[in-house]
Structure 1
Amino acid sequence: MHNSPELVEKNPALSFKPFSEEYLADPYRVFSLIREAKPVFYDEEIGYWVVSRYADVRECFRDQERFSAAITLDQLKPLAPEALQVLVDSGVVPGSALVNEDPPTHAQRRKRLMVAFTPQRIRATEPRIREFVRGYIDRIVARGSADLVRDLVWDVPALVAFHFTGIPEDEVELCKGFATSYALFNWGYPSQEEQLRLSRKLADYWRYATMHIERLSRNLGDDFISEMIRGHLEDGELFDRNYLVWMMMNFTFAGHETTTAASANMFRALLENRAQWEALVADPSLIPNAVEECLRYSSSVVAWRRTTKVPVEIDGEAIPAGANLLILNGSANHDANEFAQPETLDIRRSNANRNLSFGFGAHLCMGAPVARLEMRIMLEELTARLPHLQLVQPQDFRFSANTSFRGPSSVLVEWDASRNPEPAQAA
């Protein structure tokens, strides 16, 4: 049922329908209405307080004394008994995974795991990532058309994420399907039948992750999961065996799904704003800031979750302790109080790096530097090798029906292969 335009104008919160096709296609129009007229409101459909302005969203991330991360990985829709039974029968044991932890445990575990994400280690991955990207572009460059999601940005982040987790390349295909399933399972509103199907997939991946950790334990490498296992061997109370499994599952999801969506959003945004694309082709030094601006303009994470530890007041709204909050990163990134002309894509924007796409504060995404590196390399390679790339017109962009993760399922592009800068690759 659609509310009348008059009702929506009086109360823009009524247009917040996070699983509707209209909202999924363009949540930023709704965000703009909410920020102006009702920046904080309670949504009865999902049972969450919705927070939309930059300063408030940033504070929810920053203040761990008042806002808890504990609900971050909870299912938005409670599991049906049949779906829950699948997990029980499969031995899946619910647990935490850094992203949903509070002090002091979160800080202790994060400090131990950050050794896997030093600047030196991340820089060392650049040649491998560039090799992945160039290899995938080699497959399409003479073709004249492609789906950038299917042919590039779905696979490259998966290869990188699984490289960081020590998963062999011949097992990558086995793991990739988990990402989109997990987004719908935790942050969507699946039917009972869908919950049952998704529970089976989750159980399968739980078994795989358990096997992989046991395998790595016998031959530790220099990957993120091996580092966790070393932490477990050093201090079994800090990292127990169950924790290792949950961390692996969540890390592979975050490293794959969010970077895929962010990259797809980036290419769509730049190709829809052709002058910005042409500026990058002419001056590649603008690319790092363009990545930040694309993260701001079209985030792959448009909403995150917190719960109140104590009664709080946000924008004049009194919110009780124990209340669930949906904090809108995507809306915060379009707040005119922080970003001038926020609906305009500007690759030269001086404060683009203040976006909240990767969170803020103690829970700032550990893998953010890796995602930025991947996006930069993909943009460098495509602007150099296919500068005349353009979007297929017309095309419909489709999005997964969940509250938090947003990226188009396809980005169709075309080009005249006879104009490729590398003649040997031209058709």
Structure 2
Amino acid sequence: MSSSLSEEPTVTTGPRCPVSHLAETFDPFTDPYLQDPYAFWEVARREEPVFYSPSLGYWVVSGYHDVRQVFRDTATFSAAISITPLKELCPAAIDELVKAQMVMGPSLVNEDPPVHTQRRQHIRDALVSPRRIEAVLPRIRVLANTAIDQFVERGHADLVADFAYEIPALVAFALMGVPDEDVERAKTFSNRLALFTWGYPSDDEQQQLANGMGRYWTYAKEHVQRRLQEPTDDYISELIKVWRTPGNEELFDENYLTTTMMNFLFAGHETTTNATANGLRALLEHRDQWDALCADPSLAGGAVEEILRYSSSVIAWRREVVKDVVIGGVEIPAGSKVLAVTGSANHDESVFPEPADFDITRGNAIKHLAFGFGRHLCLGERLARAEMRIFLEELTRRLPHLRLTTGQKFVYTPNTSFRGPDRLLVEWDPTANPA
């Protein structure tokens, strides 16, 4: 969901690095940054890889090894603020959440050890067991081809609305046990988190988003309660079974399950949609790479890794410093907030030679940090990789003559962390479709 910004972030005070020009020009909410953040980070890594942004109130870390340090050192860098709204909630937004009786508690993404460690194993086993992933792969391929069937003879499509938006949602909802009749309702709610949590909406926008979040919470709570009464073979039912195992009574509660469901529906839907759209744009803008993939479908796995490196859907995460630390040669005091820019790390020249080149045969693309690193490595990374690989295989098989529509403007939701075009217009000659 896109939104124009109608107010600027409040300027906060705090320590600064000696060099300040990058801090003064860093604006992740408007063009040209939204169009091409990587141009900014190329300069930042060279001139000031760690700097303080007074407009955000965050220390910004852009180098590969420094970002890995932030993720690896959970004793110094707490995940507690990961999904706290970047902009403080206005009274009207708070009222909307109160009306919905929304009680967003902790979840894996913003928990630290030891409780994170205790819960992660159970949540991981329930979500991404080999059995569950293998079972859903044929459905992903059927969904991909069903979507292509709807537009293959048309000669044009929006690969976000007509393809990349729909399928990850259906897969995520199926894993959660969301019934088919609820899919449209759940999709409407789940795309509201990016701007609400990582953006800087106006008060009016924030109130509208909070209203949607409240309705999303109500739906997720109803679904969890339904599964408490009638468990099935799905993710939430599996967590409920774990919770009801003797000795695990303190592991979860109902609010935790509701929060987990909300976060997974967003993560499993929004991030894969954005990654797919980013990847298709990159492939079609680098025609030699698209043609190579069409000629050799076995390159799809490598193409997925290079897409995640080159233009990942999650380009930054947030952490809170709990004790004084030095990172990148810069002293950061306890109590500070950090924006760890994974998108920049994935373009670090010291790790990825010629990082601005898009090469689906790149040997070390898999070293990217698109899914994070360490204890908070994304639990859905296997599923996301599988979905993207199948999408590429089916689109290149059925529409190898696909091309980007010329003259289109790519629009990105203004926020610090999630990135993908709202639309991706393509066209082709239907008479040239393969049999």
Letter in structure 2 aligned against 1:62: R
Counterpart position of 1:66:
76
**Residues 58-97 of structure 1 mapped to structure 2, 5 A cutoff:** 58-97=68-107
Whether 1:129 aligns to 2:129 is: no
Alignment of 1:13-412 (within 5 A): 13-116=23-126, 117-234=128-245, 235-412=248-425
TM-fit CA distance, 1:11: 2.7
Which amino acid in the other structure matches residue 168 of structure 1?
P
How far 1:39 moved relative to its partner?
Answer: 0.4
CA distance in 2, matches of 1:26, 1:155: 26
Check conservation: 1:15, 1:30, Cα contact below 8 A: no
Identity %: 53
1:63: how far off?
Answer: 1.2
Quick one: distance in 2 between partners of 1:231 and 1:194?
Answer: 39
Aligned-pair CA distance for 1:81: 1.4
Q: Deviations over 1:98-127 (max 9, x none)?
A: 100000111110111122212232122110
1-structure distance, mates of 2:194, 2:58: 18
Write the letter of the residue equivalent to 1:29: A
Q: Is there any run of 5+ residues in structure 1 with no aligned partner, and where?
A: 2-8, 423-427
Give per-residue Cα distances to partners, 1:356-391, cap 9 Å, x unaligned.
001011110001111111100010000000000000
Distance in 2 (CA, whole Å) between partners of 1:258 and 1:216 is: 26
Say if 1:133 and 1:156, in contact at 8 Å, map to a contact too: yes
Q: Deviations over 1:106-165 (max 9, x none)?
A: 111011112221223212211011011010001111111000001000000000110111
Report if aligned partners of 2:23, 2:54 keep a CA contact under 8 Å in 1. Answer: no
Contact 1:140 1:146 (8 Å CA) reproduced? yes
Aligned partners of 1:133 and 1:378 also within 8 Å? yes
* Aligned residues of 1:231 and 1:239 also touching (Cα < 8 A): no
The answer to whether the Cα contact below 8 Å between 2:190 and 2:216 also exists between their aligned partners in 1 is: no
1:328 & 1:420 partners in 2: Cα distance?
41
> What is aligned with 1:416?
429
Q: CA–CA distance in 2 between the matches of 1:363 and 1:13?
A: 28
Q: CA deviation at 1:10?
A: 7.8
Q: Report the Cα distance in structure 1 between the residues aligned to 2:382 and 2:310, rounded to whole angstroms.
A: 18
SS in 2 for 1:306: strand
- Contact 2:189 2:215 survives alignment (8 Å): no
Secondary structure of 2:45's aligned partner:
helix
264-273 or 227-236, larger mean C-alpha shift: 227-236
RMSD (Å), alpha carbons: 1.2
> Secondary structure of 1:326's match?
strand
Whole-Å Cα distance in 1 between the matches of residues 191 and 46 of structure 2? 33
* Deviation sequence 1:268-322 (CA, Å, 0-9, x none): 0000000000000111111101000000000100110111111001112110111
Unpaired runs of at least 5, structure 2: 1-7, 9-18
Give the CA deviation at 1:232.
Answer: 2.4
* Residue of structure 2 equivalent to 1:5: none
- In 1: Cα distance, 2:130 partner to 2:63 partner: 32
Distance 1:24 1:179 in 2: 22
Partner Cα distance (1:114, 1:344) in 2: 34
Moved over 4 A (4+): none
Output the CA distance in 2 between the equivalents of 1:287 and 1:113: 29
Moved more, 413-422 or 220-229: 220-229
- The Cα shift of 1:89 comes to 2.5
Q: 1:11 touches 1:37 (CA, 8 Å); kept in 2?
A: no
Offset at 1:394? 1.4
| Counterpart Cα distance in 2 of 1:233 and 1:44 | 47
> Who is 2:4 aligned against?
none
> Once the two structures are superposed, what CA deviation does each residue of 1:181-210 show, in whole Å capped at 9, x if it has no partner?
111110000111111111111111111111
Question: Could you report, residue by residue, the CA deviation over 1:312-351 in whole angstroms, capped at 9, with x for unpaired residues?
Answer: 0111211011111000010000000010000000000011
How many residues in Structure 1 have an aligned counterpart in Structure 2?
415
State the Cα deviation string for residues 1-27 of structure 1 (Å, max 9, x = none). 9xxxxxxx9833332101112111111
Q: Note the C-alpha offset of 1:396.
A: 0.5
TM-score scaled by length of structure 1:
0.95
